[in-house]
Structure 1
Amino acid sequence: MEPEAESAWDLDAVLVGAGVDAAIAVVAATLALPERVRWPAFAGVLAGGLLGGYLAGRLAAGSWRRRPRHGLLAGVVGGAAFALAVRWSFEPGTPPGALRPANYLLATAAGWFPSGFTARYDALIGVAAALAFGVLYAVEGALAAGAAPGDESGIVAVRE
């Protein structure tokens, strides 16, 4: 007996995962926090892609091949929102919240590059950092979705 063919995409699963990722990014960018909790909150925000990916994989269910695709797509969409939130947090006057440590890391990392490089590409360095954070959500989403429980009956076939 052959297993039923899985549908290509469960858009509800992707939307839930991406929505959670985007909500984490928006709250991190807009909620002002006391200085002593910014670094722990930043660590939590960096791991936010795991939550969105897990939810996408769990809701998509299916085989181990299906779940990471859903988590990756949710992570790409949520990661785009996260990249925009990080880039926005670099602007003057934004609330000092969970993304303020990203500003600190970028400002102190500028010393690693030659001064001419940072002077010439200062805006692009911020964009590259924001994109790197967005890619982090996509990778986390795929990994967490793959680890989410699903239908594993097709992996091991027992013959009697």
Structure 2
Amino acid sequence: MPRPALPAGAAAALAALTVLAGCSGVVRVDPPTPTGPAAAACQKLAGALPRTLDGLDRVASEPASPYVVVWGEGEIALRCGVDRPAAMDATADVSDVNGIGWFNDPQRPALYTAVNREAYVEVTISPQHKPAEVQVDLAGPIKAAIPE
């Protein structure tokens, strides 16, 4: 079944995700390489994340990484231990969702980064899903696994 066209900004944010085998649900995501406490927190987060998110089941990602979790065929992808968002400056808007600060890069509207934690957590959310609902579901596991 053909996918609906994405807005230009959303297409750019989802560019890192490539479906390798549409039927098998394996999704290509470039994993980050956190170290030290951030790596440990990200590994803890991976085990705390839900099996189903916003109606989507987890699927395998390639290459396999403890720092990447994907739901659906790349509709929602989480990467833990990413670098601080380059576009985020001291005056950037950060929205609070259940105690997690989320930065949304205006140039990449489908990309949200949890920024008030020991490790940055990046979530790409396709336009078919409401970011606030996804962020609410991720807030608990992020708070439990990654210290401020």
Shorter-chain TM-score above 0.5 = no
Q: Which has the higher contact order (CA 8 A, sep 6+)?
A: 1
**Quick check: which has more Rg, 1 or 2?**
1
TM-score (norm 2): 0.25
TM-score (norm 1): 0.23
User: Whose strand fraction is larger, Structure 1's or Structure 2's?
Assistant: 2
User: Whose helix fraction is larger, Structure 1's or Structure 2's?
Assistant: 1
